């Protein structure tokens, strides 16, 4: 039982850390190269030239939901601490309810996490127009110079097929279809959340079996003690013999 109690204390702390990681991951999901995608919506004539609007709206919904999920997970872990699930030797119905709610919700978060990360990753890599020639030609009006560097007029040139291709013309455009570490971290988070839920479940089953075994041993001990008391042979009491005096003779005095 002591070993199980040490494990349950560690798992409660791990669950708190995992819940916090879900919240932090949600806040930092749209960073790095993914954050740059926001800059290319409606940048020219109100048109989405690289088809990134769907990616942005889906990722925003994903992040908002995951932030809420992270907060709920933290609250559920706090409830387990409130019910002393980390230190109580014997669990009661409230302990099992608190742990059950956390495990079920953690499984929901894990499934939602892996599905949405895969969805957003697919939109980023396949829905956005990365290669030249796949999108609408972007025409820019540029100045035309003479040999002395004087502006002599303007001309329209096709600089790229879409905004993703303009990195070769404008260094500020840094979109990269291979920027996937955010998604890789998401898949790692899925494994961590799932493993935590499974470990908490197994530890709770372990606790239940130990308590059940202890109760069984106590019941058997009480029964054995009762049977032993009943098997002790009773001590026979000696029978009383009543001697009644039937003679009316008086004692004869000795004559001197």
Q: Each residue of 63-107: pLDDT tens digit?
A: 999 999 999 999 999 999 999 998 888 889 999 999 999 999 999
Q: What is the mean pLDDT of the segment spanning 37-41?
A: 69
Q: What is the mean pLDDT of the segment spanning 42-69?
A: 81
256 falls in which pLDDT band (50, 70, 90)? very low
For residue 16, what is the enclosing H or E element?
Answer: helix 2-28
Residue with tokens 């110079």: 145
Q: Each residue of 119-169: pLDDT tens digit?
A: 999 988 888 776 544 555 666 677 777 878 787 777 776 655 555 555 555
What is the C-alpha to C-alpha distance for residues 142 and 169, in angstroms, rounded to an integer?
A: 13
255 falls in which pLDDT band (50, 70, 90)? very low
Which candidate, 151, 180, 156, 179, places its Cα nearest to that of 167? 179
Model confidence at 10: pLDDT above 90? yes
Q: Each residue of 220-252: pLDDT tens digit?
A: 776 667 665 565 545 555 555 544 444 445 555
* pTM reported for the whole predicted model: 0.71
Model confidence at 32: pLDDT above 80? no
Q: What is the mean pLDDT of the segment spanning 38-65?
A: 77
**3-state DSSP of 22-46:** HHHHHHHCCCCHHHHHHHHCCCECC
């Amino acid at each position: 039982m002591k070993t199980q109690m040490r494990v349950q204390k560690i798992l409660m702390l791990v669950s708190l850390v995992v819940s916090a990681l879900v919240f932090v991951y949600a806040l930092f999901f749209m960073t790095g190269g993914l954050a740059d995608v926001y800059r290319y919506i409606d940048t020219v004539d109100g048109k989405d030239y690289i088809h990134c609007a769907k990616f942005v709206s889906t990722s925003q919904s994903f992040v908002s939901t995951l932030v809420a999920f992270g907060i709920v997970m933290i609250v559920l872990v706090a409830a387990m601490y409130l019910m002393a699930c980390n230190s109580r030797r014997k669990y009661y119905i409230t302990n099992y309810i608190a742990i059950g709610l956390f495990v079920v919700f953690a499984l929901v978060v894990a499934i939602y996490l892996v599905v949405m990360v895969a969805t957003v990753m697919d939109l980023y890599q396949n829905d956005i127009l990365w290669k030249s020639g796949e999108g609408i030609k972007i025409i820019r009006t540029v100045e035309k110079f003479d040999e002395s560097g004087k502006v002599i007029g303007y001309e329209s040139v096709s600089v790229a097929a879409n905004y993703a291709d303009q990195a070769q013309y404008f260094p500020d455009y840094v979109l990269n279809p291979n920027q996937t570490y955010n998604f890789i971290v998401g898949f790692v988070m899925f494994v961590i959340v799932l493993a935590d839920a499974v470990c908490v479940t197994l530890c709770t089953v372990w606790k239940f079996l130990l308590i059940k075994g202890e109760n069984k041993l106590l019941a058997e001990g009480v029964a054995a003690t009762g049977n032993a008391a009943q098997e002790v042979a009773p001590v026979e009491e000696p029978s009383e013999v009543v001697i009644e005096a039937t003679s009316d003779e008086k004692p004869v005095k000795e004559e001197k």
